[in-house]
Amino acid sequence: MLRGGPEDTICAIATPAGEGGIGIVRLSGSQALRIADKFVQLRSGQPLASVPSHTLCLADLRFPDMNQTVALDPSIPKPRECFDEALVVYMKAPRSFTGEDIVEIQSHGGSLILSLTCRACLEAGARLAEPGEFTKRAFLNGRLDLSQAEAVLDTIRAKSAASLTAAQRQLRGDLAREVDTAREALVHLLAQLEAGIDFGDEDVDIIHKQDLVGTVDRVARLVERLRDTARAGRLLRDGARVVIAGRPNVGKSSLLNRLLKEERAIVTAVPGTTRDLIEEAIDLGGVLVHLVDTAGIRDTEDPVEHEGIKRSWSAQEQADLRVIVLDGSLPLSADDRRLMDQAAEMRHVIVINKADLPAQVSPTSVKPGSVCIAVSAKTGDGVEDLRLAIRAQLIGSGPETADGVLVTNVRHQTALTRAHESLVEATSSIKDEMAAELVAVDLRAAADALGEITGAITNEEILSRIFSTFCIGK
Ligand SMILES: Nc1nc2c(ncn2[C@@H]2O[C@H](COP(=O)(O)OP(=O)(O)O)[C@@H](O)[C@H]2O)c(=O)[nH]1
Ligand SMILES: [Mg+2]
């Protein structure tokens, strides 16, 4: 079978495996109509080609009397009779997802029906699509830039409202627009600089140093702002790990249960009850959070508890945020201090629990500069404030996360970092009165790094790395 040719007409089952009310097989390429015509018979008796584009038509699916044996699953005999009825739509190029002629066949969602439909496509001359090939064609045909193509996958995989919003913004081209603005400013500068280089530096001063510094600085700040959204963006996309830590019996497991709104972890008055890590996901205002309850930190002789405490420390190290729980009805201990000190350099929230009991710890007496919330896991008081505090610590509450562009993709983040480094280099070269050629090299590197994000600069290796992570049929 031929592989990889962009001129082939490709087909794939576009709906997930298993049974469903409907299932869709997609055909894309110049031969889509001709191939569909071989096994799709419209009830109206018209040929599919004569129906206006983007119109759903009722049709029967039936194998023609052909003897080819390009079998998808040869163990299944080909039915002689019509094997399903379907709604079929033809989308004429370029007004389709891929920018090519597309035929979508919406049959009943049984795996046998869908594989027979695919088999009919193959026998009529299509080949099976590679993972992500439809989206790759959309990119190659200019329907999407690379960041939008990646957003297709993020959209499909989104598990929380916030990650879906970020993916949708990217899919609509918000990131691409910002990146393009920055890149175009650099390309414009480069043209001016290169003109200056060509004329020699004596009498034609095409661009003033002040203008040059000003533009590079403006672009550097834009790139830096985008890059700095990446941490929050990644947390929004993948979810955050929040680890609840503290001494035994301060109420960590009670707090986990409160946040989950279910009795997930065992709560007892016996210190050292929780020994293994307990992990559950919650939705914190649209942000997916993996909450982890841990063993209480103390000195112990018990080998099982000791292992649990080791796991608690390593979970704390890997956390995006630590919630350090104190028992507010008892004076602070050395272990409490140690936990807070260890968390100081990381994102953390301090919780003074058992606020329903007479207080021995006041918020002002704990760590200055730390966010500190009084709650009662028993009554639920303060738990809502804690939710808000955790969310704010994770993704901030600034305008950039509220409605701006978020960088959620590591590939974009590293490209932005490289672009920024080159711009910093360029700035210092300009200030040091270096030759224009040297400045141009850095500006070119920055422009190219930005171009990688949208795919203005790309190569087959980058493309296959990106699209191979897609599912077949997307
Ligand atoms: N009065 C009061 N008791 C609490 C509160 N939170 C937890 N406890 C009690 O403290 C004990 C230890 O709770 P637990 O959640 O198992 O603590 P952990 O060892 O930190 O996981 C249990 O008897 C809980 O009922 C609270 O907010 N107020
Ligand atoms: Mg516990």
Instruction: Give the Cα separation of 164 and 94 in Å (integer).
Output: 27
Closest by CA to 62, choosing from 49, 46, 45, 81, is 81
**Stretch 318-334: mean pLDDT:** 96
Whether the pLDDT of residue 203 is over 60: the answer is: no
| Cα distance from N-terminal residue to C-terminal residue, the chain | 21
CB of residue 244 inside a 6 A radius of ligand 1: no
CB of residue 252 inside a 6 A radius of ligand 1: yes
Residue nearest to atom 13 of ligand 1 (CA): 251
Q: So what's the pLDDT on residue 399?
A: 44
Instruction: Delimit the CATH 3.30.1360.120 region(s) of the chain.
Output: 10-129
pLDDT band at 204 (very low <50, low <70, confident <90, very high): very low
Give the percent of the chain with pLDDT over 70. Answer: 93
CATH class of 238-399: alpha beta
Residue nearest to atom 1 of ligand 1 (CA): 354
Instruction: Delimit the CATH 3.40.50.300 region(s) of the chain.
Output: 238-399
Instruction: Give the Cα separation of 213 and 466 in Å (integer).
Output: 35
- How far away, in angstroms, is 294 Cα from ligand 2 center? 7
Q: So what's the pLDDT on residue 286?
A: 83
Nearest-atom index, ligand 1, CA of 377: 27
DSSP H stretches of helix in 38-91? none
CB of residue 119 inside a 6 A radius of ligand 1: no
Extract the tokens encoding 339: 């936990």
pLDDT band at 352 (very low <50, low <70, confident <90, very high): very high
Closest by CA to 129, choosing from 29, 62, 38, 35, is 29
Q: So what's the pLDDT on residue 96?
A: 97
CB of residue 249 inside a 6 A radius of ligand 1: yes
Instruction: Give the Cα separation of 41 and 47 in Å (integer).
Output: 7
Q: So what's the pLDDT on residue 64?
A: 82
Extract the tokens encoding 56: 């759903």
Nearest-atom index, ligand 1, CA of 254: 15
- How far away, in angstroms, is 297 Cα from ligand 1 center? 15
Q: Which of 34-43, 311-320, 456-465 shows the lowest mean pLDDT across its residues?
A: 456-465
CB of residue 258 inside a 6 A radius of ligand 1: no
**Stretch 147-153: mean pLDDT:** 95
Instruction: Give the Cα separation of 178 and 194 in Å (integer).
Output: 25
Give the percent of the chain with pLDDT over 90. Answer: 72
CB of residue 294 inside a 6 A radius of ligand 1: no
- How far away, in angstroms, is 124 Cα from ligand 1 center? 68
CATH for 10-129 (3.40.50.620, 3.30.1360.120, 3.40.50.170, 3.30.450.40): 3.30.1360.120
**Stretch 353-373: mean pLDDT:** 90
Residue nearest to atom 6 of ligand 1 (CA): 251
Instruction: Give the Cα separation of 375 and 44 in Å (integer).
Output: 68
Q: What is the mean pLDDT of the chain?
A: 90
Instruction: Delimit the CATH 1.20.120.430 region(s) of the chain.
Output: 150-229+407-467
Using DSSP, state whether 100 is helix, strand or coil: coil
Please choose from 247, 249, 254, 325 the residue to mutate so as to test ligand 1's pocket, defined by most ligand atoms within 8 A of CB.
Answer: 254
- Give the model confidence (pLDDT) of 230-283 as tens digits: 988 888 888 999 999 999 999 999 999 999 998 888 898 888 888 889 999 999
Whether the pLDDT of residue 320 is over 50: the answer is: yes
Q: Are 366 and 258 in contact (CB under 8 A)?
A: no
Residue nearest to atom 17 of ligand 1 (CA): 251
Superfamily of domain covering 150-229+407-467: tRNA modification GTPase MnmE domain 2 (1.20.120.430)
